[in-house]
Amino acid sequence: MPRFANLFAGILFGSVGLAAFVYGKKSANWKPMAIGAVLMVYPYFIEATWLVYVIGVALSALIFIWRD
């Protein structure tokens, strides 16, 4: 059974990933689409709570670093 913190992180970063994916699709930019897809999927494969948050924050920051 996943912890509440993992569920919250999955919902949080999944929402950010969905927004990035939709933005990338509308602007025809593959970078936000790819990062958004990864943000939506990766919490399913990682069990360590701290690692979920670290990767999520890093990928979310990467969206803003790679913007055009």
Quick: pLDDT tens for 26-50.
Answer: 999 999 999 999 999 999 999 899 9
- Total-model pTM: 0.88
Q: Which long-range contacts (CB under 8 A, 24 or more apart) does 4-12 make?
A: 5/49, 6/43, 6/47, 6/49, 6/52, 9/43, 9/49, 9/52, 9/53, 9/56, 10/43, 10/44, 10/52, 12/56
Residue 1, pLDDT above cutoff 70: no
